Amino acid sequence: MKYKFITVEGNIGAGKTSLAKLLGQHFDAKLILETFAENPFLPKFFEDAKRYAFSAELFFLADRYQQLHEQLKEFNLFNQRTISDYVFVKSLLYSRVNLTDDEFKLFQRIFSIMYPNLPEPDLLVYIHSSVNRIIKNIRKRGRNFEQSVSESYLLKIQQAYFNYFKQKPNLKILILQADDIDFVNNPADFDKIVNLIEKEYSPGLHTIKL
């Protein structure tokens, strides 16, 4: 594998963790998986977003920073392959959607203190699926607190990612249009993704329809 640090990203229910696990096993890489289930404010956020958004986002920010900082602090020393199922800037993207302007300004100040201490991924793999496909995935995996998520919210999150991509011309970003594949249950589809990840990319956006 040409890249030592790969991040898998995507909207809610896109299959980030599933793909990261499969890639980790295939490439014998160290896995960093988000511990979202430990966030006590997340179920409350889906019930009352306005009241619990700041608490939920702040918990995620601290948790993601601690995990990435601990797992990646010796990254360059050992030169180990590492795959994560989230990028740290995810906290900023979601907070821009979920917080009020005043809350976001405070959140952004805290984020800006942490951000320089973490490395950028060598390759960011973004699983892009239609909102209809994502909603089917969310219903299929059956997390109760996610069932109320709206199409409009998913579209806002999607747009937040693509706005971020436009601001990162020096980052290598591979966008996989994944509506027509099943990389979990179809080994041939997973092999297609592996072949794409093994290629060398120039900085910028690279969109592939699978």
CB distance 123 to 197 below 8 Å = yes
Instruction: For tokens 């993207």, name the residue.
Output: 93
Round to whole Å and give the CA distance between 74 and 65.
15
Is 182 one of the catalytic residues? no
Tokens of 93: 């993207």
Round to whole Å and give the CA distance between 184 and 103.
38
Query: What is the three-class DSSP state of 84?
Result: strand
Of 80, 75, 88, the C-alpha closest to 34 is 88
Q: Which of 28, 48, 63, 85 is catalytic?
A: 85
By annotation, the residues acting in catalysis are 85
